[in-house]
Structure 1
Amino acid sequence: MKRIAFTVWLTVVSMMVMATHLPDVEGTVVDEQGQPLEFVNVVLLSEGDSAFVQGATTDATGHFLIKTPENHGVLKVTSVGYKTTFANTHTFGGRVVLKDDAKMLQEVTVKGSLPKTKLMGNSMVTAIQGTVLEKSGSAKEMLSKVPGMTLKGDALEVLGKGTPIYYINGRKMQNADELTRLRSEEIKEVEVITNPGAQYDATVTAVVRIKTIRRQGNGFGFDLTANSQNDLRYGYWDGSSTLNMRYRYKAFELFGMMNGWKHDQMNDSAPHQWSYYRSGDQLTGIDQNTRLLNHWTGKGLGWNVGFNLQLAENHTVGMRIEQHKNYDSGYDAWQKTYMTKMIVGKPDSKEETNNVTEEQLHEHYPYNWEGNAFYNGKVGKLNIDLNIDFLTNKKEENGDIQESVNLENNTMTSDSKTTNQMFADKLVLGYPVWKGMLQVGSEMSRVTRRSFYQITMDGVPTTDSKVKENSIAAFVEYACQIPKVGSVSAGLRYEHVGFDYKDRINNDNSLERYTNDLFPSFSWANQWGAVQTSLSYSMKTQRPNYWMLNEAVIYINPYSLQTGDPKLKNAKTHSIGANARWKWLNLMANYERTDDALTQWSYIYNDKGVILVKNRNLDVPVRSVSVFLTASPTWGCYSPSWTVGMQKFDMKQTLADPREASGVRTVHYNRPLFVANLNNVFRLPHKWQLESYLYFQRKGDYMNFRLTNNICNLGFVVQKCWLKNDALCLRVTVDDVLQRTRQKVNMDCGYYTLNQNSAQSNHRLNISLRYSFNASGSKYKGTGAGKEAAGRMAQ
């Protein structure tokens, strides 16, 4: 590892030395209020014939740097929404002020017709401020309308890439509730990265970076949001209130948040299971038909406090600490199962069992803390970004189970304890080299997790395990703008992970393992007239969550147990993506191949119909291709955002099946999933806004799961705002009007088959009211570290 770090350092130093002899043109681009402008195009033209010499794009601070032997000429500065400006390199003084394009701004205000999305390498940057998207309620509601993203059920996904990680002003978002607390009015732009480069953990398949509006001014400000969510199917109610406060004085900012919530939700499912096993010449089949109701309840309170201090023009430090408390959390479960067991071909061997189970599970969180500290600065031309993160929490669960089998009663109790500790740091250095920016960095995390579980049930052993995982990563990435070629970026990430699993009861189950991997990435983007294009490649991995590695046998219900496997391997994925954009049309395509893919599998646990649910690595590669077309025009007061496309997996499995004469059979998963996501927004006079949305997914295959029904989610929104700058805003939403979001899934393991019919109620009435006073966006610049490890501790 020391040799690798030394080699990277020598490379950086040598490239810096090579670049120092070149003259350059450097400066900052700001708007009329003096605010830095990002993604502004700056082109150097020769004085004689106005020929193109070199170009650059401004960063988050408005800074640009053009390295060229010819450092005199005319600068042409352009950005959407601003008038094109020309400046002489000898007289512009290092600062260019762009003036608003009054005509375009008028269109934004009245019609909302400002182009919202542009391609930037392997990402799509969508402007929110000044468009119809800025009045979309919460950040979560707004993100579902951003090109490249969709809302599936209650979860946001990047098209074809799955669940992303989020950054808000450079700080990694740890709690998904932040997307419901953050308002769309506070957001300046959203960047969707479909093939993250070397600076991101190799497990990250998609990134969404949210940048809030940078407001100026001293004093106190706050915003208060109250939200009520009513389940129209079962009659339950969820509620939350969030208070954000901030105080600014010159270069110092103090901020804090308090959030209280109540959760009450019902899930209705009907799993139907078949399992077969052979004993000698006899084939026995077990048929289980179940009805399961789960009722989750909980209350919680969260808060955070932090500060941000700009020590000098190019030096900023900050710290943030957050705590979450859960009260009265848990669930009540009722299950009724009718089981038939019979030797195939012998009807007189039929055995019938009726089972009714009631379970109460209580959750307790003695503590749950997390924090971040950062330094963001610039020394000469060297950019420095340092983040330090910590996380510590404890979860306790106690269950009471009342079980009746053929009228014979049985009582059981369960006890579970889980503690997590994580410390991580990440350093990124950036330096302008030749025609672009070179970044090198390292990331380290240290994780300790202890799990204990016991249940008073025969045949299920008590488990007590401890996991230690230490990882270190080093990366290098270079991005530049080459004339007539386009924007090019290439990176390489090295990761060393040490995993130590200790079974504190049976040391024979303990193990240690170490992995060393290299993950390359590449992207290219160029513009051909009005068409923007990009290509990207990356290699990623998926590591099992820590609960997947725990060998504890967890009781789910009388016929289902769950356990992990510390011998699970990491999955590896090669991904190739292509993107093209013309005006308001965007085409995305992606191809992936995954080896050792992680999935869920079921095994026959005993001859009484009990199934053991376990994660495993697939022994065949999983291939997938996805294509999505998005249209986001604006016609007067009407702004639709329509996405249609498909994702197709291709995988063959040979399954052990005792019903077959050969003992095996082959299953092919290749049915495409067709998707349509249609969002419509109408901006009306007097600050009224009407919205409708429709999400449709056709049945098809997803990896080794078969989705056997179509899903349709139709919803409507009415919004009305009052006061200056829309300080008071009421938003009313009706979700899943047709109540067609029930999902049916088939899982085939050969000797075991499951048909799962589940319906988590999405038929809801949401009412939210927001008031803002002297609102100002946060200056917090922490980017976070160790996020992949923290995410794997989520369960």
Structure 2
Amino acid sequence: MIKISMKINKILVALCFFVIIVSQIASARNIIARDMGANKGDVPANIAILDSDSNVVAKNMTGISDSTAISLSDVEVIGHRKNIKLSGHNLLVDVEHDSILNHQNDIYELIGKVPGVLHLGNSFNVLGKGAPVYYLNGRKVRDQSLIDNLPVDQIKSLKIVAMPGADYDTSGSPVIDIKTKILGDGVAFNAIGNITQAKHLAYKTGFSSTYNSGKFDLYGKYYYRRNNASESSDYDKQVLADTIWNKMQHIESLTHSGSHTYSAGMTYHLSDKSELGMLYSGMYTDGKVETRDTFCVVPNAGPAYYLFDKNKSKNNLLTHHVNIYYDASLNHAWHVSVVMDYISKASNTNSALMENHIGTSSEVSYMGHSKWNVLASNFHATHDFGKWGTLGMGYDFSYSEGIDKIDYERLKFDGRFENKEVKNAVFINYELPLGDFSLSTGIRYQNLYSRRKNEKASVIETHSDNTFLPSVTLSYSHGLLVQNLSYSIGTERANYADMNDNVTYVNRYEQSKGNSQLKTAITHSLSYLLMYKSLFLTLNYDYIYRPLLPVIYSLEGNSAVTVSSQDNLSHRQALAAMLNWRNTYKCYTASLTGFFQKSIMHYPGIDGTTFHDGHPSTILNFDNDFKLPKHFLLSLSWQQVWGGYMESINVKSSSSVNLSIKKSFLNDRLRLSLDGYDIFNGDRNRACRQIYNVRSSFNTKYETRKVGLTLTYRFHKIKERENQTSAEVEMKRLGIPEE
């Protein structure tokens, strides 16, 4: 057997009668193995391309002479593509060629199946670092509806960054950067309908369309969503003061909401390496919330008090968003990106609260109006020095102003509030390849200025923060082993609408209060990532200086009233580990994820004592996907949460099981998905905590057990235009599978 190492994308095999063209995928090495025939003049009996990502096997070719005619129908081609890999400090996910990921109903189901991502309630924990910030084609997403309604078949790949560098405007949060496909010539049109039944019915319907002609890409979307959902919560509080107050509260709420989202845009390709784009998106939502609240206050001495509340609220929100961008590669070394966003939001609220307390009733009504305008822009540039690495630099700017009006009889503050915020940031980062190693380092400086004016009280509050945010990553890659170690500094700033001393009336036993002395929290993060074959490991350590923490305490002079607020503690530490194993065996793909988090924090207790976080929390997630005949895809997932402490809150155990079956028809133009969520109704939000002199616990149940049916029809499939190498063209021509 003779082994020939290939680094070019085609080779002529055997006496000019048979040609096979292969490509080098990623950086893997391909080897041709030849089993020579027994007789002189015979050509190789078997030809195989072997590497870590793909292989090609030819059969029925033993003892072939040079005069034998062979057609490609005699060749069986088998290929395997590694769709998820770690590159430096980025987790790269090839959605386009993963037949499990690209058959999910929406972007959030897709993300929830990526290794290293846990779907917790209505949010994600990404690589143990918390909720992500979304980017779309390298540009920060400022309108979440663009992600909510992004069709899965338009997604090419995901880049998940646990420790973003200085070029990302995320304040230390992880990043999910979504890359979409480049449109080919012609029209594509998708229609989608979804209906979900729990206790109440919810549905979504809409369409998306794209059109390309020469240098122009045009696209548009419209979706309507109607949601009806109920929520049930039980709260228990015990106030340890001069009198021990036991408070029991039961809340039932019913929400009806509808939303229209729409967008239209164009891209003009100035050349193969530069483009100019413009997008408009808008959303209108209206909703109605009805809440019934039963409140019982029982002191350790004296009579009990009962409070019955009924709240009816109506609201609407109108959003406009305009995005303009220019993206270009210059002289094969420079890459320039310029982005501008303008966002306008206006909301109106009408609410009526009726209280019944000790035989007497009262009604409090309020009307609220808010209007916000945001202008943001950035300029980013990178220069590729070849073997000497890549240098990046940029400037980010944002300006926002808003007006809040409220007329509320029993609110301790009312009137008109004006808010302004200005952010300026500059950064520089450098990446250097060093053989099997690579080094990435950068620093970001940002100034954040905010101004809040209470016109009624003629009070102006201003805050200014200046921060330097360095980051450094060292990566190592050799064969199937990839590792990286990262350090960065991030910040968490309280909403400046809370940075005041105003008191808000909730009911006669509860208040919420601002805190004008809140400081920006600073997080020092150390992260280690490792990928080897099917294993993926992340380890994180965070040290948070002045962490922001919700607190609750009894009101001085009236201990029956509790006050909710925010405060800075001295420090907090957190250890987190996530281990994922994902492997495919024939038609079965299994993904097992374990997550462990230990919080180390001390916080104030009763009468000057100190409490601390207890045992860690642990989560196990097990996904199973079966590719069945006739284009069926069966998926079964199970998640188990074992209780533990997360930032002073002792979270209780819960579990959920989801089941779905998907089927493709008409050459994958029609897709049907039948989904069952939380089949055993075990997904509950239960927790307890004690801080200062208040012990509290809550148990909240949403409509998590439900069944859904989703139908997607693609009248014209999206055609992709891309600059392919000749090897990739031949891979497609020969029919080599892409996964």
The TM-score normalised by the length of structure 1 is 0.79
CA contact (8 A) 2:280 2:322 kept: yes
Q: Could you tell me how far apart the structure 2 residues matched to 1:628 and 1:652 are? A: 25
Q: Could you tell me how far apart the structure 1 residues matched to 2:430 and 2:55 are? A: 29
Q: Which residue of 2 aligns with 1:309?
A: 268
Q: Could you tell me how far apart the structure 2 residues matched to 1:748 and 1:615 are? A: 15
Q: What SS does the aligned partner of 1:140 have?
A: helix
Q: What SS does the aligned partner of 1:686 have?
A: helix
* Correspondent of 2:639 among 685, 688, 695: 695
Q: Could you tell me how far apart the structure 2 residues matched to 1:713 and 1:607 are? A: 42
- After TM superposition, the structure 1 = structure 2 runs for residues 201-280 of structure 1, keeping only pairs within 5 Å, are 201-216=169-184, 218-231=185-198, 235-277=199-241
Q: Which residue of 2 aligns with 1:672?
A: 616
1:375 aligns with 2:319: no
- Change in Cα spacing, 1:506 to 1:253, as seen in structure 2 (3 Å) is same
- Change in Cα spacing, 1:284 to 1:778, as seen in structure 2 (3 Å) is farther
Give structure 2 stretches of 5+ with no counterpart.
Answer: 1-7, 11-22, 30-50, 57-73, 723-739
Q: Could you tell me how far apart the structure 2 residues matched to 1:637 and 1:222 are? A: 31
1:718 aligns with 2:661: yes
Q: Could you tell me how far apart the structure 2 residues matched to 1:396 and 1:779 are? A: 44
CA contact (8 A) 2:656 2:680 kept: yes
1:596 aligns with 2:546: yes
CA contact (8 A) 1:164 1:204 kept: no
- After TM superposition, the structure 1 = structure 2 runs for residues 353-752 of structure 1, keeping only pairs within 5 Å, are 353-365=305-317, 367-380=318-331, 381-433=333-385, 435-457=388-410, 460-484=412-436, 486-508=437-459, 510-549=460-499, 552-605=502-555, 607=558, 609-618=560-569, 620-655=570-605, 657=606, 663-707=607-651, 709-724=652-667, 726-752=668-694
Q: Could you tell me how far apart the structure 1 residues matched to 2:132 and 2:719 are? A: 23
CA contact (8 A) 1:186 1:777 kept: no
- The Cα of 1:601 is off from its aligned counterpart by 1.3
CA contact (8 A) 1:271 1:756 kept: yes
**One-letter identity of the residue aligned with 1:693:** S
Q: Which residue of 1 aligns with 2:95?
A: 128
Q: Could you tell me how far apart the structure 1 residues matched to 2:649 and 2:675 are? A: 32
Q: What SS does the aligned partner of 2:304 have?
A: strand
CA contact (8 A) 1:258 1:303 kept: yes
CA contact (8 A) 1:81 1:104 kept: no
Q: Could you tell me how far apart the structure 2 residues matched to 1:200 and 1:425 are? A: 13
Q: What SS does the aligned partner of 1:157 have?
A: strand
Q: Could you tell me how far apart the structure 1 residues matched to 2:226 and 2:284 are? A: 12
- The Cα of 1:403 is off from its aligned counterpart by 0.8
1:299 aligns with 2:258: yes
CA contact (8 A) 1:360 1:400 kept: yes
- Change in Cα spacing, 1:42 to 1:530, as seen in structure 2 (3 Å) is closer
Q: Which residue of 2 aligns with 1:106?
A: 78
Q: Could you tell me how far apart the structure 1 residues matched to 2:401 and 2:433 are? A: 43
Q: Which residue of 2 aligns with 1:117?
A: 84
**One-letter identity of the residue aligned with 1:715:** N
CA contact (8 A) 2:83 2:97 kept: no
Q: Which residue of 2 aligns with 1:182?
A: 150
**One-letter identity of the residue aligned with 1:633:** N
- Change in Cα spacing, 1:104 to 1:753, as seen in structure 2 (3 Å) is farther
Q: Could you tell me how far apart the structure 2 residues matched to 1:304 and 1:689 are? A: 32
Q: Could you tell me how far apart the structure 1 residues matched to 2:27 and 2:514 are? A: 52
**One-letter identity of the residue aligned with 2:708:** N
- After TM superposition, the structure 1 = structure 2 runs for residues 320-335 of structure 1, keeping only pairs within 5 Å, are 320-327=279-286, 329-335=287-293
Bigger shift: residues 624-633 or 743-752: 743-752
CA contact (8 A) 2:55 2:78 kept: no
CA contact (8 A) 1:214 1:776 kept: no
Q: What SS does the aligned partner of 2:630 have?
A: coil
Q: Deviations over 1:260-288 (max 9, x none)?
A: 011111110001112233xxxxx222111
CA contact (8 A) 1:465 1:550 kept: no
- Change in Cα spacing, 1:635 to 1:220, as seen in structure 2 (3 Å) is same
- Change in Cα spacing, 1:475 to 1:42, as seen in structure 2 (3 Å) is farther
Q: Deviations over 1:297-350 (max 9, x none)?
A: 1111110111000012322101101110113x13100011111134xxxx4xx1
Q: Could you tell me how far apart the structure 2 residues matched to 1:324 and 1:431 are? A: 38
Q: Could you tell me how far apart the structure 2 residues matched to 1:557 and 1:397 are? A: 19
Bigger shift: residues 497-506 or 583-592: 497-506
CA contact (8 A) 1:203 1:543 kept: no
Q: Could you tell me how far apart the structure 2 residues matched to 1:465 and 1:682 are? A: 56
- The Cα of 1:595 is off from its aligned counterpart by 1.1
Q: Deviations over 1:670-703 (max 9, x none)?
A: 3111110111100011100100001111100001
- The Cα of 1:195 is off from its aligned counterpart by 0.3
- The Cα of 1:775 is off from its aligned counterpart by 2.7
Q: Which residue of 1 aligns with 2:296?
A: 338
- The Cα of 1:743 is off from its aligned counterpart by 1.6
Q: Could you tell me how far apart the structure 1 residues matched to 2:560 and 2:513 are? A: 17
Q: Could you tell me how far apart the structure 1 residues matched to 2:596 and 2:480 are? A: 26
- Change in Cα spacing, 1:103 to 1:473, as seen in structure 2 (3 Å) is farther
Q: Which residue of 2 aligns with 1:194?
A: 162
- Change in Cα spacing, 1:754 to 1:573, as seen in structure 2 (3 Å) is same
**One-letter identity of the residue aligned with 2:526:** I
Q: Which residue of 2 aligns with 1:34?
A: none
- The Cα of 1:160 is off from its aligned counterpart by 1.4
Q: Which residue of 1 aligns with 2:67?
A: none
- Change in Cα spacing, 1:741 to 1:175, as seen in structure 2 (3 Å) is farther
- Change in Cα spacing, 1:287 to 1:127, as seen in structure 2 (3 Å) is same
**One-letter identity of the residue aligned with 1:371:** V
Give structure 1 stretches of 5+ with no counterpart.
Answer: 1-27, 31-36, 44-77, 84-101, 109-113, 278-282, 658-662, 781-795
- The Cα of 1:39 is off from its aligned counterpart by 9.6
- The Cα of 1:177 is off from its aligned counterpart by 4.8
- Change in Cα spacing, 1:685 to 1:180, as seen in structure 2 (3 Å) is farther
Q: Deviations over 1:453-505 (max 9, x none)?
A: 33222x72325321211111000011121124x12110100101112122212
- After TM superposition, the structure 1 = structure 2 runs for residues 750-789 of structure 1, keeping only pairs within 5 Å, are 750-776=692-718
Q: Could you tell me how far apart the structure 2 residues matched to 1:734 and 1:471 are? A: 45
- The Cα of 1:378 is off from its aligned counterpart by 2.2
Q: Could you tell me how far apart the structure 2 residues matched to 1:426 and 1:211 are? A: 19
- Change in Cα spacing, 1:79 to 1:614, as seen in structure 2 (3 Å) is same
What RMSD in Å do the two structures reach over aligned CA positions?
2.6
- Change in Cα spacing, 1:452 to 1:603, as seen in structure 2 (3 Å) is farther
Q: What SS does the aligned partner of 1:106 have?
A: coil
- After TM superposition, the structure 1 = structure 2 runs for residues 136-147 of structure 1, keeping only pairs within 5 Å, are 136-147=104-115
Q: What SS does the aligned partner of 2:173 have?
A: coil
Q: Could you tell me how far apart the structure 1 residues matched to 2:500 and 2:677 are? A: 38
**One-letter identity of the residue aligned with 2:653:** N
**Percent identical:** 20
- The Cα of 1:747 is off from its aligned counterpart by 2.7
- The Cα of 1:166 is off from its aligned counterpart by 1.4
Q: Could you tell me how far apart the structure 2 residues matched to 1:270 and 1:774 are? A: 50
Query: How many residues are treated as equivalent by the alignment?
Result: 662
